Amino acid sequence: MVQSNNSLTPAYLSAKLQRFWELSARKIRLIEKQYDARKGSPVFTVQGRYTTRGWTEWTQGFQYGSAIVQFDATGDAEFLDLGRAQTLQSMAPHVSHVGVHDHGFNNVSTYGNLLRLMREGKIPTNEWEANFYALALKISGAVQANRWTPIQSVAPGMPEAGFIHSFNGPHSLFVDTIRSCRALVVSHLLGHTFQAENDRRISLLERALLHIDATARFSVYYGEGRDSYDIWGRTAHESVFNVTDGNYRCPNSQQGYTGFSTWTRGLAWAMCGFAEELEALPLLSDTDLDRLGGRAAIEAMMLKGARATCDFFLQHTPTDGVPYWDTGAPNLYKLGDYLNRPAEPYNDHEPVDSSAAAIGAQGLLRLGHYLQQNGRDVEAGRRYWQAGLTVLDTLLQEPYLSTDPAHEGLLLHSIYHRPNGWDYTPEGSQIPCGESSMWGDYHMRELALYVQRIIDGGPYYAFFNCVPTPNQ
């Protein structure tokens, strides 16, 4: 289990973060210089060079979002110019992309980050530019919300239950998609009206919260009721439904080992998604929340999901905070007592996934901050917070931080799709290792920015900062 360093503070990490941002700048420049964009979006590295492969173009927002985050952390206008120009030139197809569940990844990371910088006063306010970003975010949220599968409701009198289905089809709920709910929440907060046939108005907020509720009920296990055979906080990558009658059928996995083991990047998406949506609750009116059971019930649902998934991560991850790719991976037993020592990215049996560590650490920090700020459970909040700092400290050092000037990746030992065999295994190794992914690099930068903002005393870093406050 994760052994937190309780003496760590954000300020203690300042020197490591400075080095990190210097390396990050070099990597962004290297990709811009060497990568052939005609091949599609960069996804993951092979022998240190970014390549493209995947089922959808879901990583381009991370590429250009990385440049925007780099500017945010360092003030270097070179990266603002890059992120702004490429958002304009390359990201429009992602706004209208009806075939994916990744709008919160692609569009909030680009249009959202740029609008956020303007709202926070980090770049000059330009009304037409702000309106351009806001329009993209409004439409993106609506397009994402239209991927809707109705399911059986659990309470009489409640609105229809349902979820944003994955690109696998209307039967498929992915645990990842909770982080795309940001797109719907932002669109709602920007005042967008989503209309369907016969001008029927559909609440974007309602669809976001219903999706989060479906994720909490079907993708996360609590060791009670339906899940009495299982344990607290385990997640399934995919939940399968009968689309004819809306009934749940079974767990499944696309990128994990099985539906009855936990793919750790999916776990991390849930940790981060629940925590950041909890932070957005104060922006939502009681009137908006009453139709879904009220503020207290919604907060309790999200808090239970956040704490369960974060607890599972802490219990089922090696001491330094870097998990193996799946907690049920078939050869983990060959590693012996692997949970009571640091992760071993160069072992002969199962790969680690550093991208899950970077995503999960942000969830730990946000949940820890939320509990401490709201006085709900200050002791637990400190525990999650220190665990998040511990994971960050691990990732800011070798062998996870990429210091090779020829390697285009920033965060090493990321895993994409083990069952499909998409990850590069170097000569002489039995497992994939030593490579990076665009989502891992982006989320490492986002994690670093979160802590950098706290060190610098800047505005608290949150996705909804792109929404204007009453005096903006």
Q: Going from the N-terminus, what domains does the chain have, and what CATH number goes with each?
A: 11-465 (1.50.10.10)
Of all residues in the chain, what percent carry a pLDDT higher than 90?
94
The length of the chain, given as a count of residues: 472
Q: What is the mean pLDDT of residues 306-333?
A: 98
pLDDT band for position 470 (cuts 50, 70, 90): low
Of 115, 86, 114, 279, nearest to 181 (Cα)? Answer: 279
Task: Output the CA angle 315-304-355, nearest 5 degrees.
Answer: 50
- Report helix, strand or coil for 324: strand
pLDDT one-digit tens code per residue, 162-219 = 999 999 999 999 999 999 999 999 999 999 999 999 999 999 999 999 999 999 999 9
Q: 170: cis peptide before it, omega within 30°?
A: no
pLDDT attached to residue 56: 79
pLDDT one-digit tens code per residue, 91-114 = 999 999 999 999 999 999 999 999
Question: What are the structure tokens assigned to 57, written together?
Answer: 């173009």
Sort 290 into a burial class: Cβ within 10 Å, 0-12 / 13-18 / 19+: exposed
The C-alpha atoms of residue 166 and residue 240 are separated, in whole angstroms, by 11
Q: 399: cis peptide before it, omega within 30°?
A: yes
pLDDT one-digit tens code per residue, 417-465 = 999 999 999 999 999 999 999 999 999 999 999 999 999 999 999 999 9
pLDDT attached to residue 291: 87
User: Looking at the predicted structure, is the pLDDT value of residue 57 above 90?
Assistant: no
User: At a CB cut-off of 8 Å and minimum separation 6, what does 359 contact?
Assistant: 265, 268, 269, 271, 272, 439, 443
Considering only CA atoms, give the Rg of the chain: 21
Report the sign of the C-alpha dihedral through residues 294, 199, 189, 191, in that order.
Answer: negative
Question: What are the structure tokens assigned to 366, written together?
Answer: 């946000």
pLDDT one-digit tens code per residue, 141-151 = 999 999 999 99
pLDDT band for position 133 (cuts 50, 70, 90): very high
pLDDT attached to residue 156: 58
User: Looking at the predicted structure, is the pLDDT value of residue 64 above 80?
Assistant: yes
For the chain, what is the mean pLDDT? 96
User: Looking at the predicted structure, is the pLDDT value of residue 157 above 70?
Assistant: no
pTM for the full predicted model: 0.97
pLDDT one-digit tens code per residue, 333-370 = 999 999 999 999 999 999 999 999 999 999 999 999 99
Distances in Å between the Cα of 128 and the Cα atoms of 78, 357, 389 are 22, 38, 39
pLDDT one-digit tens code per residue, 21-36 = 999 999 999 999 999 9
